[in-house]
Amino acid sequence: MESDLLAITINGKYDTSDVMNPKYAGKCEKLYAVNTPLEGWCALHNSLSGETIGLSYPTERLPYLGVWEGIINDTFVTALEPVTGALDRLDVAKLAGKAGVIKARSKYEWFLNLTFEGVSEINTIDPNGYID
């Protein structure tokens, strides 16, 4: 499978090995940020075209960030998912102290801004969804 996708590793180098040889072909792998993000925003950015999908959200209501990626129907997919609890299995999340809890007959409100824009770089996304 040939790919024009680029992934940036932590050290800033471009790497396509995960895209070309995913761990679980035909499935997705989900990862979580170890700590609550300091700022409530994240984005997927194509540095070649400038196309960007940005999300902004309240970290006090959505304290965890999940990232999943993989190959589905021969297409590379990735998603950013701000969530109330980390780890998809409730028993494991409870053991890790990362389970989101909503009391019975209560409500839990939060917002999520989606921004689609062409930009050369991203420094931040404000709570209203504006990319800087």
Of 9-13, 37-41, 71-75, 108-112, least confident by mean pLDDT is: 9-13
| Residue predicted with more confidence, 6 or 48 | 48
Would you state the pLDDT for residue 24? 61
For residue 24, tell me if it sits in a domain. yes
What tens digit of pLDDT does each residue of 57-104 get?
Answer: 999 999 999 888 877 777 788 889 999 998 888 898 899 898 988 899
Return the closest-CA partner of residue 99 out of 82, 85, 88. Answer: 85
Paired residues of 114 in beta bridges:
55
Q: What domain count does the chain have? A: 1
Q: Running DSSP on this structure, what letter comes out for residue 19?
A: H
* SS percent in the chain: helix, strand, coil, step 5: 10, 35, 55
132 lies in some domain: no
Domain that holds residue 85: 7-118
Give the three-state DSSP class for 13.
coil
- Whether residue 130 is contained in a domain is answered as no
**Residue 131 included in any domain:** no
Beta carbons within 10 angstroms of residue 67's beta carbon: 15
Q: Is residue 17 part of a domain?
A: yes
Return the beta strands (E) in the chain as ranges.
Answer: 7-8, 14-15, 28-32, 41-45, 51-56, 64-72, 75-83, 113-118
Average pLDDT in the chain: 80
Residue 66 lies in a domain: yes
Is 128 a domain residue? Answer: no
The verdict on residue 53 lying in a domain is: yes
